[in-house]
Chain A
Amino acid sequence: MTDKTTLKITYREALKQGMHEALITKDKVFLMGEDVGRYGGAFAVSKGFLEEFGEDRIMDVPLSESGFVGAGIGAALAGMRPIVEVMTVNFSLLALDQIINNAATLLHMSGGQINVPVVIRMNSGIGNQLAAQHSHSWEPFYAHIPGLKIVSAGTHEDARGMLLTALESPDPVVIFEYTSLLNMESEIPSGSGAVDIDNAKVRREGKDLSIITYGPGVYKALAAAEILASSGIDVEIIDLRVLNPIDDETIINSVAKTHKALIVEEAWRSVSISSEIISRIMEKAFFSLDAPVERLCGIEVPIPYPKHLEDASIPQKQDIVDSVLKMIRYD
């Protein structure tokens, strides 16, 4: 029986509810993307929207990533609030010039005159043996660029609420959503709505070690924490949520408390989000550390097709447990 104050919901449903609320409450908002209308959305997130909101607000676009992302940027320049859906991050590469040289840069190049309030949603990550070209984690890439706000919806609460806040931003926001979470069920408070897109969140409080992660790493870390708790190890879990600009304060406070940190992400190890987090911990919390910071990242290989290899190429719950045990051993 579900509690009256919470709602059991899939991640997909949460995304849908967020977008639905946006379309209902904000009249300048419209959705544009491949197969968002007649197909009902590649991942069924916008199913039924075309019938409800009409062609003017739910636009099926041709396969022209550069063209339609650029058009979304232009529409944002000229008074609209487009939600540009890039089917997956893998296809976003074709639109990089528009995103980086236009969306991220117009405010600056114009000396502050032009705002680009575009929201770009992209489905990301590993899932379902889709092989190398369909399994990228481009968060580190995008997080590198000044002028973009990059957020990662690793929980149902964020899937429900990040879009709404992003649509209020005067600057471009890129939202990473995750294929691997779409079918997962969880509970969110019944009145859930917009959430902030500025801060990291402590998803679990603890005192022995800080696990810092984002995206699919959040639920994996929480599951690992359950297992560790039965061994008497109490981990704190930080969900970064915003990958650019990063919320240093939450991270530093956590490390000051636990003195140990483990970063977990699916993206490839070198020049990744973990590289950045570890640098910041070194810069700002060096004297809090009782052990080197460690990280679990994607293995540097194009994502393979067979399941056992695909699973082995990113950190899993058990890997997190094993790493934490190893790090705590010295205590």
Chain B
Amino acid sequence: MEKEEIKVNLPITRELGLKLLYQMILIRRFEEKSAELYTKEKIRGFLHLYIGEEAVAVGAMHSLTEDDNILSTYREHGHALARGLDPGSIMAEMYGKQEGCSMGRGGSMHLFDTSKKFYGGNAIVGGHLPMAVGMALASKKQHLKNISCCFFGEGAIAEGEFHESMNLAALWGVPVLFLCENNLYGMGTALRFSHSVQDLEKKGAAYGVEYAKTNGMDVLEVKNAVEKATAYIRSTGKPYFLVCNTYRFRAHSMFDAQLYREKTEVDEWKKRDPILTFSNQLLKNELISTDDIDTIEDKVSTEIQKAVDFAEAGTFEPVEDLKKFVYSP
């Protein structure tokens, strides 16, 4: 893999550059903190870290509006943070506290915030794709202008739901963005061991869905690709399938010995760290200085400490309330 070329004359403002960088660093440090807290048993269950994939969430969210519906997977902290969910509410959720965004009831894999149109946090691979199609269908029927974006991994493409959803979306002509984050490994199984066709984006053609792929390690490329996709969807009302090729630097989840990939491969990909490459680009283009990066790191550090403190201070729902939220009151 070649080292990423530094692009010159980046077509963005300093402001935008700082915003995108800040969001990526926030996600990175948040995930690192979550890992630490997990080892200290503050966070339990499963923890799936987004480290390495930050460019996708940040670049994509930038191109989506606050009216759009967002559905994601169990590796959704990055999407949630980029979408604007409060870090404290996410951390409290992972602590199981009732101040969490899902009242502590969901945990790491089930972050929900309807005020931000963030519909999870879904733990069944591919399980949320039909729902995204349905939400888009509802938008069409109600003559609303919003689109429904569902993030999923390349593992979901093997599931029947992906194929059913693509077919339905194309058949009905509904405004859904199928955004696949191809990080090359479905848990411990490499792409070549689970897909007969590995140029995943081409599967769009089988359903008559407009498709594209992009470099998921570059936040600007992702941003541009998603802008193009959403423009298409908003003007035609038809679905779009975008594959972002990326890589997760960490294991699938915390308890994973990564027996399925070589450390050398990970190290190679780390050279394309989206935060590193983007900050270098910004620096090289003199849009920001190293002080700016320090300022961001400090701010992020404070944000995260605040989030942890919020979570620590949070309270547990009384056991007597166990049977709440089964049916509406």
Contact = CB atoms under 8 A, between A and B. Distances in A.
Interface of A: 30, 56, 59, 61-62, 64, 66-80, 82, 97-98, 101-102, 106-115, 146-147, 149, 170-171
A112 B131 contact: no
B313 interface: no
Contact of B102 (A64, A77, A109): A109
Given A67-B133, A78-B142, A108-B105, 19 more contacts: A62-B168, A66-B130, A67-B165, A71-B131, A72-B134, A74-B132, A74-B137, A74-B138, A82-B134, A97-B127, A101-B127, A107-B325, A109-B112, A109-B121, A110-B102, A111-B106, A112-B325, A114-B112, A171-B328
Given A69-B130, A113-B114, A149-B327, A74 B171 contact: no
Nearest to A72: B134
B117 to A, nearest CB: 9
B112 A113 contact: yes
Interface string B104-141: 11100010111000011111100111111111111101
A71 B114 contact: no
Contacts of A75: 134-135, 137-138, 141
A270 to B, nearest CB: 26
Interface in B152-181: 160-161, 164-165, 167-168, 171-172
Contacts of A64: 164, 167-168
Contacts of A59: 172
Contacts of B214: none
B105 A109 contact: yes
Interface residues of B, number: 48
Contacts of B132: 74
Nearest to A82: B134
Contacts of A109: 102, 105-106, 110, 112, 120-121
Contacts of B141: 30, 56, 75, 80
A113 B101 CA distance: 9
Nearest to A98: B130
Nearest to B93: A111
Contacts of A113: 102, 112-114
Contacts of B59: none
A146 to B, nearest CB: 5
